[in-house]
Every structure is written in C-alpha cells, then in structure tokens.
C-alpha cells in the first residue's frame, strides 16, 4: 500500500508520517528528490531552494517527475509519501494501483501557531510572509509550480487536524482500518 500526504504548511503531515512509520511503513518525501538534486548542484537546502528546485525539476521533467523518481526507488514496497504538491505527482503515484491520497487540513490560526512552535529553519517568523508563501503554493502559475488546491481535490480522504495529537491518532486508527478494508 502506498499512502500519499498533501496539505498546507504546518497542517500536521510530519505527524502523520511518524504515525504511519510506527505502523511499519517506510517514509519518503517528494522533496527528497529535490534535496538530492540540490546537493548535486552544490546548493544550500533551504525552503526557497526546495521550492525553486522543485520548479526547475518539473520544468525539465514534467509535473510528475518527483513522484516518478520515487516510484523507481520504492519497487513496490509499502510506504507513506509526504510533500505531494501537484496533480501530476498524484497521477504518477496512482499508476501503482494501491495508492491513497490523504489531505491533512488545519485552520490557518492552528497552522500559524504550530509553525511558530516548531521554528524550523526557513519557517517564516512573520504571519504576512507565511500567508504570502501559502498563496504562492495553493495555485500553480504554470506546470512547474506547486498546486496544493488542485492536489487536495484529488484526495481520497481528509483528516482534520485542529485538535490534540490524541484526537488525531483516533482519527488515524479509524482511517487505517478503512485503508486495510479497501486494500483487501
């Protein structure tokens, strides 16, 4: 089974990756392909470099290139994939036949609060910059850009993650059962 995650910044995707990993799934990210490419280019790995690197790879190889690179690595193994940001990536991953896309949702205020708490390098420290970055990611200007809204429309399931981690885990337990029923 292949599970993909999409959602806006700080919605909780990393928490879902950890949860699925504890269930025995290997974890990957579409951004892993960009990081490898940036290293080959001797470029620093920053949020902006990841975004522009993803755009460049998509310009060179098409909208699904990051997923294509991952499919080659996966070789049929069960995995959870984070950072799915384009409909073309979803289409590539669906070609495997056992793929389910989950959109992770949380309110703007919750996501902004989480972003401030986690304070990852490259995370904006001003809310207006956070919102500007988000606006750049939700609708692609061209085929090389991120398109979170169109990607989310392709989701098979939605997880609303505005509450506690315990509440999220309860929702994930229910979803895990549904996924296994669909798989069988």
Low-confidence ranges of the chain (pLDDT < 70): 184
What's the pLDDT score for residue 75? 85
Burial of 137 (0-12, 13-18, 19+ CB in 10 A): middle
What's the pLDDT score for residue 125? 93
What's the pLDDT score for residue 119? 86
Q: Between helices 65-74 and 47-61, what is the axis angle to 10°?
A: 90
pLDDT tens sequence across 129-167: 999 998 888 898 887 788 999 999 999 999 999 999 999
Cα–Cα distance measured from residue 36 to residue 40, given in angstroms and rounded to the nearest whole number: 6
What's the pLDDT score for residue 163? 94
What's the pLDDT score for residue 59? 92
Query: What CATH number is given for 2-169 in this structure?
Result: 3.40.50.300
pTM: 0.90
Cβ atoms of residues 100 and 93 within 8 Å = no
What's the pLDDT score for residue 32? 87
What's the pLDDT score for residue 24? 95
Which residues, 6+ apart, have CB-to-CB distance to 17 below 8 Å? 5, 27, 80, 82
Domain-by-domain residue ranges, the chain?
2-169
What region, left, alpha or beta, does residue 25 occupy, with left being phi > 0 and alpha being psi -120 to 50 degrees? beta
Helix (H, G, I), strand (E, B) or coil at 25: coil
Which residues, 6+ apart, have CB-to-CB distance to 98 below 8 Å? 1, 2, 183
């Amino acid at each position: 089974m292949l599970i993909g995650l999409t959602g806006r910044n700080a919605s909780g995707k990393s928490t879902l990756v950890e949860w699925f990993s504890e269930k025995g799934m290997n974890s990957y990210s579409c951004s892993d392909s960009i990081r490898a490419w940036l290293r080959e280019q001797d470029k620093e790995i920053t949020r902006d470099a990841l975004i522009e690197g993803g755009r460049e790879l998509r310009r060179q190889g098409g909208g699904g290139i990051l997923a294509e690179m991952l499919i080659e690595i996966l070789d049929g193994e069960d995995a959870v994939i984070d950072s799915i940001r384009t409909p073309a990536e979803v289409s590539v991953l669906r070609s495997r036949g056992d793929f389910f896309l989950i959109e992770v949702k949380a309110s703007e205020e919750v996501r902004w609060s989480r972003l401030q708490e986690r304070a990852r390098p490259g995370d904006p420290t001003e809310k207006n910059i956070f919102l500007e970055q988000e606006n750049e990611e939700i609708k692609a200007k061209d085929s090389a850009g991120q398109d979170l809204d169109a990607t989310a429309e392709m989701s098979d399931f939605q997880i609303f993650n505005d509450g506690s981690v315990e509440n999220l885990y309860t929702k994930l337990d229910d979803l895990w059962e549904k996924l296994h029923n669909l798989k069988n």
